[in-house]
Structure 1
Amino acid sequence: MRILVVEDNNACMIFLHETLTNMGGINSVVVDCASTGEDGLQMYKTAESSDDPYKLIFMDIMLPGIDGLQALEEIRAHESNLQLTESQKVKVIMTTALDDSTKASRAFFQGGAISYMTKPTTSEKILEEMKKFGFM
């Protein structure tokens, strides 16, 4: 399974990468990382056109350049252009250090995010989210 982490805070990026790479219960996990919304969007599009697209994205809301919500909306527009079914669309968990209900609502209702996690988080919470959505 391929997972993309889009996070501009290096410590958070490393934590997510290590947690996801070392979790049990999933065979062959590949975790790629991007530090900007633009890079994450490009990596998503490249993977989507391959035989091994991302199944899950952890996307920070506050990113340099285009933010995580804008990147998510562009991902959904790209999927719409490709006429992907709901099961073919990438699942996205938004992450942020801010507890902002307006941005959470936008992520869910406009972007179709499956979950929203506030930072700091723990490996246990990440694994709980993975189980909740059937990735483990």
Structure 2
Amino acid sequence: MKFLIVDDDENICKILTFYLDLYGQCHACSRASEAILLFRNALETEPFDVVFMDIDMPEMTGHELVTILRGAEETQKVPFHKTFKLVMVSAYDDIKNVTASFFRGHAECFVPKPVTESRILEALRQADILK
């Protein structure tokens, strides 16, 4: 499994990488522009299976970034069943952001911060991303 972790808090990137490293290859970045470049390059060779996305970031919101990543998949004509699984990770657990994550971004799950290993793994198992 191949993971892309996008969070402007580098500590969150390190924590998620630590928890997920046992389950696959992790790539983490703290800037939206870097995430777009990594994602587009991966589409050419070995796409990401799962994207972990923060909502509140300096360059653009996580919702905006997800729209760009989904658009890149559409441009490459990635079949729906092969599109990345989205996990939103955020301190914002209000209904507006949670709803936007699921309906606009087609998220499989939403994990509130602070992230813990049990929260992450439980969410991934409930979403059938991990067995």
Q: Same fold (TM over 0.5)?
A: yes
Post-superposition shift, 1:95? Answer: 0.7
The alignment's C-alpha RMSD in Å is 1.3
Report the counterpart of residue 33 of structure 1 in structure 2.
Answer: 28
TM-score normalised to the size of structure 2? 0.92
Q: How far apart, in 2, do the equivalents of 1:130 and 1:95 lie?
A: 12
Post-superposition shift, 1:5? Answer: 0.6
Post-superposition shift, 1:7? Answer: 0.9
Moved over 3 A (4+): none
Does structure 2 retain, via aligned residues, the 8 Å contact 1:38–1:66? no
Aligned residues: 130
Post-superposition shift, 1:77? Answer: 1.4
Post-superposition shift, 1:8? Answer: 1.0
3-state SS of 2:33 partner: helix
Post-superposition shift, 1:106? Answer: 1.4
Question: What percent identity do the matched residue pairs reach?
Answer: 25
Matched, 1:56 2:50: yes
Q: Which amino acid in structure 2 is aligned with residue 33 of structure 1?
A: A
Post-superposition shift, 1:83? Answer: 2.1
Does structure 1 retain, via aligned residues, the 8 Å contact 2:124–2:130? yes
**Which runs of 5 or more residues in structure 2 are unaligned?**
none
Report the counterpart of residue 105 of structure 1 in structure 2.
Answer: 99
**Which runs of 5 or more residues in structure 1 are unaligned?**
none
Matched, 1:135 2:130: yes
